[in-house]
């Protein structure tokens, strides 16, 4: 027998409820309430084999927490085509033992009904901010506070904009603004909406605020003939990201982590400098991921245009020599990750005054001097060497071989090697394809968002430190 889709289930449930309501002369909503009450009564008398109803029973009408040890997820469903997949996500999360509550935005109700969401949740889905009964019962503040993670799927462009700017004009955004917990977003939208500068600005703001992102993926859009980056991550991917959130939380608790990020600027004179194209996105994402995992993080950043990550202590520097000084000041640390693209050379004869262009004068010649090698200096320290020293190798050819050579020369423990040839779009882009190089060999990672690279790296670090 072919498997039943969520849409078919939704249709069948609605049809059955309408029939039942027509027969009894009551409203569909009343029928749903009766079914939920009956189900609760049945669960009260029989041992339930689904762990979630057991947890739900523990959430009393007065709003007590879920059963001890059971993680509570608040799923906010936004108004996008992908909302139907979130019904499957509810099932996937419950299968994994999470207690799930649901909120639908007004727009989401155009795509899926509170009825089908409620049927899968095993309790009603919340939709109203200004609803006296809901507010007295659970209320937007308790919805936000009595959970361990909020998942927004699909996260529409609109929801992301509202979150980035602190709006709270409906139940979903009010709960998000009141949240004291971690938030995971699964964006889903048309590729043009996703690429829009406003969405990317909001995304950067949200990441800086400590929000974690899963997806979006590349592929076919609902709109005929459109494809690109913007498809919501699949329910299984989101469920895995939820599990990662709980696994990561606390994985680096009590550890001191040092991260460098961005380029350095090496002055030619007070107004000119030599720089490179590093954006700081990868280093900042690593600092944010380490902080999310409970580490005490010091981020030493060169000049970048990305915001400081929240929950991280940030030291801003300009030159390679300032960066080395700041790194040494920040020791001791258990882990040091050198993601900054430090200039190899500085101008030896930098002018103290602006070098003037005068008619007839020869073009000035810039003599270069070698900058200190921060990675090698720290990796070769006799005292206060971090247990794990990780470097980055930005290469344009022979990536793995050059990285292995760099690992030996610098004396570090791991190198994350990436191909930064302009055609890869990695420098300044949002995605990265890296290989983790250690004395154990070369492990190629698939193309990932820079946040996912950061999360994967932090998980590996946590594993290595534990050993």
Ligand X SMILES: Cc1cc2nc3c(=O)[nH]c(=O)nc-3n(C[C@H](O)[C@H](O)[C@H](O)COP(=O)(O)O)c2cc1C
Q: What is the DSSP string of 212-251?
A: EE--PEEEE-SSTT-EEEEEPPPHHHHHHHHHHHHHHTTT
The single residue among 79, 114, 118, 294 that binds ligand X, judged by CB under 6 A, is: 79
Q: Among residue numbers 330 through 389, which ones bind ligand X (CB under 6 A)?
A: none
Q: Which is nearer to ligand X, 21 or 107 (CB)?
A: 107
Q: Binding of ligand X at residue 139 (CB under 6 A)?
A: no
Length of the chain counted residue by residue:
467
276 classed as catalytic = yes
Stretch that binds ligand X, among 102-110, 178-186, 349-357, 403-411 (CB under 6 A): 102-110
Task: Detail the DSSP E strand segments found in 45-126.
Answer: 72-77, 99-104
Stretch that binds ligand X, among 80-88, 115-123, 240-248, 351-359 (CB under 6 A): 80-88
**Number of residues near ligand X (by CB under 6 A):** 16
Sign, Cα dihedral of 159, 162, 166, 167 = negative
The single residue among 158, 234, 451, 452 that binds ligand X, judged by CB under 6 A, is: 158
Q: Binding of ligand X at residue 108 (CB under 6 A)?
A: yes
Measured between alpha carbons, how far is 12 from 137 in angstroms, rounded to an integer?
A: 30
Least distance to ligand X, CB of residue 357, Å: 51
Q: Binding of ligand X at residue 263 (CB under 6 A)?
A: no
The single residue among 17, 71, 72, 78 that binds ligand X, judged by CB under 6 A, is: 78
Q: Binding of ligand X at residue 80 (CB under 6 A)?
A: yes
Catalytic residue among 202, 276, 371, 418: 276
Please identify the residue of the shown chain whose CB is closest to the bound ligand X: 80
Sign, Cα dihedral of 119, 124, 125, 127 = positive
Strands 212-213 and 182-187: parallel
Least distance to ligand X, CB of residue 220, Å: 13
Residue 329, Cβ density class (10 Å: 0-12 exposed, 13-18 middle, ≥19 buried): exposed
Q: Binding of ligand X at residue 215 (CB under 6 A)?
A: no
C-beta separation of 73 from 153 below 8 A = no
Pseudo-torsion of CA 267, 314, 295, 426, nearest 10°?
-50
What is the enclosing helix (H) or strand (E) of 336? strand 335-338
Question: Which residues make up the interface to ligand X (CB under 6 A)?
Answer: 78-82, 105, 107-108, 154, 156-159, 188-189, 193
Active site positions, annotated: 276
């Amino acid at each position: 027998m072919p498997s039943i889709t969520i849409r078919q289930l939704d249709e069948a449930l609605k049809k059955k409820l309408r029939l039942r309501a027509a027969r009894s002369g009551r409203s569909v909503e009343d029928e749903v309430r009766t079914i939920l009450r009956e189900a609760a009564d049945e669960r009260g008398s029989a041992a339930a084999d689904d762990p979630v109803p057991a947890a739900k029973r523990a959430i009393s009408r007065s709003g007590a927490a879920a059963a001890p040890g059971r993680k509570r997820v608040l799923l906010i469903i936004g108004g996008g085509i992908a909302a139907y997949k979130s019904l499957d996500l509810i099932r996937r999360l419950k299968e994994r033992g999470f207690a799930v509550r649901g909120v639908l935005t007004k727009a989401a109700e155009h795509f899926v009904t509170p009825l089908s969401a409620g049927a899968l949740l095993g309790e009603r889905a919340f939709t109203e901010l200004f609803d006296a009964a809901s507010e007295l019962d659970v209320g937007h503040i308790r919805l936000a506070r009595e959970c361990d993670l909020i998942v927004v799927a699909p996260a529409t462009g609109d929801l992301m904009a509202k979150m980035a700017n602190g709006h709270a004009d409906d139940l979903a955004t009010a709960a998000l603004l009141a949240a004291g917990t971690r938030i995971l977003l699964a964006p889903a939208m048309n590729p043009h909406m996703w690429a829009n500068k406003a969405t990317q600005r909001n995304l950067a703001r949200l990441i800086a605020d400590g929000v974690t992102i899963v997806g979006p993926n590349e592929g076919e859009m609902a709109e005929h003939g459109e494809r690109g980056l913007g498809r919501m991550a699949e329910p299984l991917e989101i469920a895995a990201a939820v599990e990662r959130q709980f696994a990561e939380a606390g994985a680096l608790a009590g550890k001191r982590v040092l991260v460098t990020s961005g380029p350095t600027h090496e002055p030619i004179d007070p107004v000119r400098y030599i720089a490179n194209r590093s954006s700081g996105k990868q280093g900042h994402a690593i600092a944010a991921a380490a902080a999310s995992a409970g580490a005490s993080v010091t981020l030493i950043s060169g000049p970048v245009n990305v915001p400081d990550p929240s929950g991280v202590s940030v030291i801003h520097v300009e030159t390679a020599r300032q960066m080395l000084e700041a790194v040494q000041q920040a020791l001791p640390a258990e882990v040091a990750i050198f993601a900054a693209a430090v200039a190899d050379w500085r101008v030896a004869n930098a002018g103290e005054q602006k070098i003037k262009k005068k008619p007839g004068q020869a073009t000035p010649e810039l003599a270069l001097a070698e900058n200190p090698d921060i990675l090698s200096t720290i990796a070769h320290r006799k005292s206060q060497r971090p247990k794990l020293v990780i470097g980055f190798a930005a290469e344009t050819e022979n990536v793995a071989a050059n990285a292995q050579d760099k690992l030996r020369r610098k004396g570090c423990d791991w190198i994350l090697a990436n191909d930064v040839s302009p055609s890869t779009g990695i420098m300044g882009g949002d995605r990265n394809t890296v290989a983790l190089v250690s004395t154990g060999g070369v492990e190629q990672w698939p193309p990932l968002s820079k946040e996912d690279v950061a999360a994967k790296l932090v998980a590996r670090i946590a594993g290595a430190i534990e050993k």
